[in-house]
Amino acid sequence: MTPLGLVTEQHEALRAGAAQLAGELTVLRRRLHQCAEIGLELPRTQAMVLDALADTEVELSRGQRCSSVVGVLRGRGGPGAPAVLLRGDMDALPVTEETGEPFAAPAGAMHACGHDLHTAGLVGAAKLLSRHRDQLAGDVVFMFQPGEEGHDGAGAMIAEGVLDAAGPRVSAAYGLHVFSSMLPRGVFGTRPGPLMAASSGVLVTVHGVGGHASRPHTSADPIVVAAEMVTALQTLVTRQFDVFEPVVITVGTFHAGTRGNVIPSTATFEGTLRAFSLDSLDRLRARSVRLCTQIAAAYGMTADVTFDSEYPVTVNDAEHAGFALEVAADLFGSERSQLLRDPVMGSEDFSRVLEEVPGAYLFLGACVDDDPLTAPSNHSALARFSETVLPDAALLLASLAVRRLPLLDD
């Protein structure tokens, strides 16, 4: 059987089923959006997923260490049949929404990265496949994951056995991520090899001597020193790394002081480090420590620099990435299946899954605006996502499973 060996009747049945689910998935997405939850504990989101799949033939289980949901759909293969994993992450970000959407989330949390669409799309794929179990030459594992945004939910689910939920370990894994910018609406994109960067958090605390703001010479002001570090870290990137070895340092928080006429004793800032190899990331960490501690020493102060290792590089298996793009082109036309030239500096804990089993991660343009290059990006309080892509996300995920399983018996 060829990678695209799906007879026309099956193809059209899945397509029609996805179209019929459009309204239901939109309603679910908006409910998920309004109850945005952060981290590993997402009890309301978990309950919505369980409720949405209660009338299917998917075997459902809850996580023990987090609010995950694992679903297993048994195909016609019988015991020991091959299995494919499909993943959707469910958590939101600590961002107060400013989109003005009628279904906007309450202050404090927002699905600014589109995980509500991921969840709804995976629910749609599960419903489609449940209705067409007779097409499955094996089993499908549905990985509804919390804690992608810095909490390593994928690692927690792997530790609990999601890769072996069907019995034998899954032989392939697929997932997708929507973008409110970058890609035109409805376009799927991926590439073989590195797709997303490895990441590490960094926390720097500068220790000075507090005092009165009118007499800075009698104190040791940590704010100006920490500010110098922030700008010097950008120079480090441009002057100590080859331009063809992309690395990124971004500082996202800076905290110091209590009022304008007081020099504080400490200043802290947090950031993220990104690279496409662990060697580059290790060198970036080492040079960041050297730079910050020596700048502090030059002003008679000290600095503590600590790191939080986050996610490895997301690496697509070349054969699986090509297969996924072929399936997308067959379903939606070649103009909506794009081989990406470059990887992106975002990071993903789906990288944990792809370290264990071959597979591919794809991007899907969900831009509301006509120009994805000027639209608010993922993680913005203004990020908006087009719900028109939901049936297509469900159809692609379902089709990847249906078409991949027969190849695993070859």
Indicate the residue type of 173.
A
For the chain, give the secondary structure using H, E and C: CCCCCCCHHHHHHHHHHHHHCHHHHHHHHHHHHHCCCECCCCHHHHHHHHHHCCCCCCEEEECCCCCCEEEEECCCCCCCCCEEEEEEECCEECCCCCCCCCCCCCCCCECCCCHHHHHHHHHHHHHHHHHCHHHCCCEEEEEEECCCCCCCHHHHHHHCCHHHCCCCCCCEEEEEEEECCCCCCCCEEECCEEEECEEEEEEEEEECECEECCCHHHCECHHHHHHHHHHHHHHHHHHHCCCCCCEEEEEEEEEECCCCCEECCEEEEEEEEEECCHHHHHHHHHHHHHHHHHHHHHCCCEEEEEEEECCCCEEECHHHHHHHHHHHHHHHCHHHEEECCCCECCCCCHHHHHHHCCEEEEEEECECCCCCCCCCCCCCCCCCECHHHHHHHHHHHHHHHHHHHHHHHC
Spot the catalytic one: 97, 311, 348, 361: 311
Spot the catalytic one: 148, 149, 348, 387: 387
Distance from C-alpha of 153 to C-alpha of 122, rounded to nearest angstrom: 17
Rg (CA), the chain: 23
| 174 a catalytic residue | no
| 311 a catalytic residue | yes
Indicate the residue type of 126.
A
Instruction: Indicate which residues carry an active-site annotation.
Output: 311, 387
